[in-house]
Amino acid sequence: MSDADPCGPWLDRWALTADGAAFSTRYGSHLAPVLAAGQPAGLLTLSVASWIAYCLSGAHRFGGRWTPDDPYAGTVIAIGEKVSDWTDLAKSVLAIAPIFGSDMAHPQLVDPVARHLSGLLRGDTRGYLSERLGDD
| Per-residue pLDDT tens digits for 16-50 | 555 555 544 443 457 777 777 887 788 889 999 99
* 18: helix, strand or coil: coil
39-94, pLDDT tens digit by residue?
A: 778 888 999 999 999 999 999 999 998 899 999 999 999 999 999 999 999 999 99
- What is the number of other CB atoms lying within 10 angstroms of the CB of residue 23? 6
Q: Enumerate residues 6+ apart whose C-beta is below 8 A from 54.
A: 68, 70
Q: Is the dihedral of CA 100, 43, 8, 82 positive or negative?
A: positive
How much is the pTM? 0.76
CATH number 1.10.1040.10 given to 30-133: yes
Answer whether 11's CB lies under 8 Å from 17's CB: yes
